[in-house]
Amino acid sequence: MATATATAKPAARHWLMKSEPDCFSIDHLKKKKTSGWDGVRNYQARNFMREMAVGDKVLFYHSSITPPGVAGLAEVCALAHPDPTQFDPESEYYDPKATPSVPRWFMVDVKYISTFPALLPLERLHQIPELSDMVLLQRSRLSVQPASKLHYDLIVSLAK
């Protein structure tokens, strides 16, 4: 017999993605509605994007600004595909070792979901014992990282 699991959509996974708001903020995403997450040039971050599925939930994090923190929510709306900036010699993300037939860098597309009423600062996250094992708090440099549903839900509730 056909089981429910055979047709059920797999549960959405959760992620945290960082952007420098001077470069691309959640307001930019709100205005554009959807955007390719280009410019990732770290293999681990790239590999996480290749694991993403449409509908996965994303915490949109503002980095390299005072204060840093989670700014809102987004959702994956297109699977990983080659990041066009790697082929563009004019782009700061140009990679001469990448070719269209053998692309090296990939990006997903994300769509805007919501902006938190106020930025949830990193400092606040540090104060929550349940979040102490978040990748963000352990490996602060990784720009695309998985988050547990528990952490995601907790952050959403803290942001209200």
Partner DNA sequence: GCCAACGTTGGC
Q: Least distance (Å) from DNA to the CB of residue 18?
A: 5
Q: Within a 10 A sphere around the Cβ of 98, how many other Cβ atoms?
A: 17
Q: Which of 11, 27, 34, 42 binds DNA (CB under 7 A)?
A: 42
Q: Which of 41, 81, 111, 124 binds DNA (CB under 7 A)?
A: 41
Q: Least distance (Å) from DNA to the CB of residue 38?
A: 13
Stretch that binds DNA, among 24-32, 58-66, 81-89, 108-116 (CB under 7 A): 58-66
Q: Is 138 exposed, middle or buried (0-12, 13-18, 19+ CB in 10 A)?
A: exposed
Fill in the per-residue mask, 107 to 126: x = in contact with DNA (CB under 7 A), - = not in contact: ---------------xx--x
Parallel/antiparallel/unpaired status of strands 69-82 and 34-36:
unpaired
Q: Within a 10 A sphere around the Cβ of 42, how many other Cβ atoms?
A: 13
Site for DNA contains 38 (CB under 7 A): no
CA distance 147 to 13: 8
Buried/exposed 108-130: b ≥16 CB within 10 Å, e otherwise: bbbbbeebbeebbebebbeeeee
Q: Least distance (Å) from DNA to the CB of residue 86?
A: 13
CA distance 57 to 77: 10
Q: Which of 21, 68, 86, 105 binds DNA (CB under 7 A)?
A: 68
In the complex, the residues that contact DNA under the rule CB under 7 A are 18, 20, 41-44, 63-66, 68, 122-123, 126, 138-143
